[in-house]
């Protein structure tokens, strides 16, 4: 009887841990979208169709040639070869490109650069 009760307790606790872990993963993506949205200039926000909740998040390895950069601020080169968030915001545009990509640090959500647009 004690073994059965112990087994039931272990199963219930394991399910609780798994449920909490999955919930945190989903909220991390939402949080980074909101954090980056707060760092965008108002001119860029006006160009976006919707708000931070409409963005999608993925992780990529940042490579040279996929981001626009300011030649006076080369701090984003520190991220080349590292994993970063790529956050795609839908834009108001009649062109074939329907999104703008913004790159952010995976550790703190700090804005790095915009992605190049075709």
What are the pLDDT digits (tens) for 31-52? 799 999 999 999 889 989 999 9
CA 57 to chain CA centroid, Å, is 4
Number of domain units in the chain? 1
Helix (H, G, I), strand (E, B) or coil at 5: helix
What are the pLDDT digits (tens) for 86-117? 999 998 876 667 888 999 999 999 999 888 87
Distance (Å, rounded) from C-alpha 98 to C-alpha 64?
A: 22
Distance (Å, rounded) from C-alpha 7 to C-alpha 36?
A: 45
Provide the domain limits for residue 54: 2-114
* pTM for the predicted model, two decimal places: 0.68
From the CB of residue 96, how many other CB atoms can be counted at a distance below 10 Å?
Answer: 6
């Amino acid at each position: 009887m004690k073994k059965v009760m112990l087994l039931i307790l272990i199963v219930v606790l394991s399910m609780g841990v798994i449920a909490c872990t999955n919930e945190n993963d989903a909220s991390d993506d939402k949080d980074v979208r909101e954090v980056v949205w707060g760092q965008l200039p108002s001119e860029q926000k006006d160009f976006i169709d919707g708000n931070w909740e409409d963005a999608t998040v993925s992780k990529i390895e940042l490579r040279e040639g996929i981001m626009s950069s300011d030649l006076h601020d080369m701090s984003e080169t520190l991220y080349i070869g590292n994993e970063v968030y790529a956050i795609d915001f839908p834009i108001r545009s009649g062109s074939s490109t329907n999104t703008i990509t913004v790159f952010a640090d995976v550790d703190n959500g700090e804005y790095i650069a915009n992605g190049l647009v075709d």
